[in-house]
Each structure stands twice: as C-alpha cells, then as structure tokens.
Structure 1
Amino acid sequence: MYHMRINKFISESGKTSRRGADKLIKEKQVTVNGRIPKPGYQVKPGDKVLVSGDPIQMANNYVYLALNKPVGITSTTEKNVKGNIVDLVNHPLRVFNIGRLDKDSDGLILLTNDGDIVNEILRVENEHEKEYIVSVDKPITDEFLKNMEEGVNILGTKTLPCKVYQKSKFEFQIILTQGLNRQIRRMCGELGYDVLRLQRTRVMNITLGNLPVGQWRDLSKKERQQLFRELNYQPKEW
C-alpha cells in the first residue's frame, strides 16, 4: 500500500488529466473523506474521493498493451490532436504511450496506465534495446553499415555504438539503446540516405510479431514477468 498525490489519483482514475485535476481541486470540486483537500494531498488506500459529488477510484488493475502503430498516428494523449494514439486504441481505461514513435513511422509502441513503469523503461542509463527495420532510397554499402554502427554526429553529439545488419539491397535492421529525436532518420540523412520506411519491431523483450497494423493486444503474463524482471520493477497495487 502507498500514498499518491491527489491530482495523479484523479488522473489515473480516468476522470481527467493531471492538469484538469489541478483545476478541479482549485475550484473546490474535489473532496476527500468529506473535506476539501490541498493540492498536494496524498491519497491513501481507503480514502473516499469525490469529484463534483461523484465517487471515483483508481483502476485496481494495471494494463500493459502492445500496439502496431500505423503511419499517420501521432504518439500523444492530447485529444485535440487529430489522429492521436489514444483515440486509435480506444481502451476503456485511460492509457498513455511509453515513449514515442514518429508520425511517419510504424510498428511497435507500448501503452499502459501504470505511470511508474514509464520512467523505468525510458531512463537513458538503463540502455534498453529497441529494434527497427529500415528501408532506404539507395543501395546499402559496407561503409554505410560501419558508420551507422560506430556512431554518427547528429544534434551536436555522436550517437552511441549500435548493432546494424543488412537484410537486403535497400533494407537493414538496427538495434539501438538510445532514443534521440528522429535518430535513425537523422543518422541516415547525415550519411546521404533518405528513409522510405521505418518500422519498430521490438522494445526490450516485447516483439511486434504478426500483430496487424492498427491493432493492439495485452502483453502476456510471460511477457510482463520478463519485462518486470529486466526492469527490476514491482507494480504497486491498491
């Protein structure tokens, strides 16, 4: 059992965003055990939280989803953005994406309603692997593969060494432990190549498999257990 800030509690109930929760608290539309809480109030298991007179509770289970994101979908929870990922998934619980996948890229992206696991997966120093299949506009050379593996200067820094394998004349596989903005596209561009398609096929132990484009699935128990082990993570329960 643990405590949670009131705005996070309201957000994870699916009622509104944290910003929206802050507004409701400020407007004194939130009560905890019959009293108006201060903005930083820590909700405890057993507390009775009402919003505008209606009782709310945090989802008593966490969900972990794998989505095959299509090209054209934006990795954002902002509902005012046309083609946002949350509307595509249309999950009954309020879920959010773990990290981003460019609008013009497709493939695997994870979603959850467990806010704590997001930082564990995205933390740079953990160096978690992400795997991609990339198609480019001209024949791949040994020099290109070597440069990609050893690192390319983009965004004022040299990318970390990575694993790169040629799959065909115009296609390669790349495994990164880094996540700079549009990293693969920028790396290819610096070496004189344009990316025609970029598909993410794996995040850590979770693989895309044969999941159809635009569809999502719950992670299996085995996938969740391995993911938690690799992160040394124990989900909190209420």
Structure 2
Amino acid sequence: MTNEAKSSDGTRLNRYLASCGLGSRRSCEELITSGRVAINDLQVKGLGQRVLPSDTVTVDGALVTPEREMTLALHKPTKCVTTRNDPQQRQTVYDLLPKEYRNLHHVGRLDRESEGLLILTNSGDLAQKLTHPSTKVEKEYLVQTDRVFDMRDRSAFIKGIELEEGIGKAVAVQALAPRLVRVVLQQGMKRQIRLMFAAKGYAVKRLIRTRVGSYELGNIKAGKWRRLTEQDIRQLQTNPTGRPE
C-alpha cells in the first residue's frame, strides 16, 4: 500500500497504534506528528493515515502489531496509588497484577486513600468511551462521613459546588444510613467527592467506587482482579452510562 489509501480503507493510524499498546489515541497522535511512525518504511506525519492488514507499521524502526484486547476490573485497596511508576516507591495498582497485564492502561484513577473499582484495558476504543465527557459515564460511590449526613445538603450536591477545577455536580445522592451516602457522578475532577463533602463541612472517612458505567465491583475482594467477559465489554461499549436503555 502507498500512503494514499482511500479514506474508507483500513484502520486509522492512531487507533492502530493504540491497539498495539502504545498509549491513548492522543499520545499515539504525538508519535505520528513527531515523525516516529512509518508504514511500509515510509515516514508518516499526517493524522489521517490508515493502515491495511497487509501493511507493516514501525515506531522508531521497531515493528509493532496489535495486542489481544484485554480488560480487567481491579478492586483497588487503600494505600495504593494509581500510577505505573511511583517516585516515592509506594505500592501501585500494577504491583497487584501479573507481569503480563502490566502493560494495561488504567481508565481514570482513584486517589491513594480511596478504594474500589478500577478498569484497566489495552482497548483504546473502550478507554475513550469510558473517559470522554460526551458519553457521560456514571461512576457510583459509597461515602462514609464523619457525622450524620444532612439531606438538606443534597440539593447543593445536585446543583453544583464550586471547586478549584470548576463546578462539581452529582447526578444522584442518597443517604443509605446516617453516615453512609451513595453518590453518582458523571464528572471526573481530582478528589471531587472529598472536596464536595469538605465544602459542606464533612470529612470523608471511607470512599469506595462500586460501579463504572454498567460494570459493578460486586464481590471482588480488595487487591484482587477479574477479567471482563466479552458480554461485560459489549455492555460497557453499548451502554457506558450504566443507565437502563
């Protein structure tokens, strides 16, 4: 193939590179524009390039091929950081995985003191769908507070609370017990739930993410993981919000 493939042929190059485990589509675009990618020994800089099954793709001269798609659900414990390498040598979520799964990318993150469901995948399509603001993916949390939750504060959570990153909003807030609150977000600001509760005078004693889109944490124990089935992934792809269709 020449670099003049019809626009409808093949797979877009950034998507192909993401499927090879080289990062998100956006980071793969940076590889392309920096001139590090070649198709059939021809350097590529245009983002519109597509790859056919017969093509050979290299990055920095090394052949790259798509990985078998893999998606895991991990129950992240507390005192564990959501990063691949930690300068402070703290335990990371990747320390909990077998070596062959440590190339997966975490979809979003949980802060060190929080626990619960974390999705890891090498599927660029799934990661994009679960993180792009336009899909409005729901993330559900159980929040244990230091004092009884006043349901009069619920309206402030729904209308929005001013935070450093912007207006933080919840789409659902439900008191399950005097000091246990179920919160559903469609946003992903840094430490959003902790900051929202702090703004109303509460300290969060425990924070657990129990659902991402249509996938629930279920009975996965802290520090353990489960491989998602094709049906799980299909549901996340077709109904990432988790709401009844």
User: Secondary structure of 1:92's partner?
Assistant: helix
Q: CA deviation at 1:106?
A: 0.4
CA distance in 2, matches of 1:98, 1:156: 20
Q: Cα distance, 1:157 vs. partner? A: 3.8
After superposition, residues 131-170 of structure 1 pair within 5 angstroms as: 131-155=140-164, 157-170=166-179
- Contact between 2:10 and 2:50, CA under 8 Å: does it hold in 1? no
String of CA shifts for 1:54-101, please: whole Å, max 9, x gaps. Answer: 754221x31121110111222223476733333332352521011111
Instruction: Provide the secondary structure at the position in 1 that maps to 2:195.
Output: helix
When residues 36 and 188 of structure 1 are mapped into structure 2, their CA distance, relative to the original with a 3 A threshold, is same
Aligned to 1:2: 10
TM-score of the pair, normalised by structure 1: 0.77
* SS at 1:125 equivalent: helix
Instruction: Tell me, in whole angstroms, the C-alpha distance in 2 between the residues paired with 1:15 and 1:187.
Output: 35
Give ranges in structure 2 of 5+ residues lacking alignment.
Answer: 1-8
Tell me which moved more, 80-89 or 166-175.
80-89
Where does residue 217 of structure 1 map in the other structure? 226
CA contact (8 A) 1:31 1:49 kept: yes
The farther-off stretch of 181-190 and 152-161 is 152-161
1:124 and 1:49, CA in 2 relative to 1: closer, same or farther beyond 3 A? closer
Contact 1:132-1:198 within 8 A present in 2 as well: yes
Q: How does 1:62-81 map to 2 (within 5 A)?
A: 62-78=69-85
Q: CA deviation at 1:121?
A: 1.4
Aligned partner of 1:111 in structure 2 is 120
Deviates more, 1:193-202 or 1:84-93: 84-93
Deviation at 1:126, TM superposition (A): 2.2
Contact 1:4 1:44 in 2 (8 A): no
* 1:112–1:7 Cα change, 3 Å: closer
- In 2 relative to 1, CA 204–156 (structure 1 residues): closer, same or farther, beyond 3 Å? closer
Opposite residue 148 of structure 1, the aligned amino acid is: F
Q: Map 1:1-238; keep pairs closer than 5 Å.
A: 2-5=10-13, 9=17, 12-14=19-21, 33=40, 35=41, 37-38=43-44, 43-49=51-57, 56-59=64-67, 61-78=68-85, 82=89, 83-90=91-98, 92-93=100-101, 94-155=103-164, 157-231=166-240
- TM-score, normalised by the number of residues in structure 2: 0.75
| Conservation of the 8 A alpha-carbon contact between 1:105 and 1:198 | yes
Deviation at 1:221, TM superposition (A): 2.8
Q: Distance in 2 between matches of 1:119 and 1:180?
A: 17
Distance 2:203 2:146 in 1: 6
Q: How many residues align?
A: 225
Q: Is the 8 A contact 1:64 1:218 kept in 2?
A: yes
Identity %: 29
Distance 2:133 2:117 in 1: 19
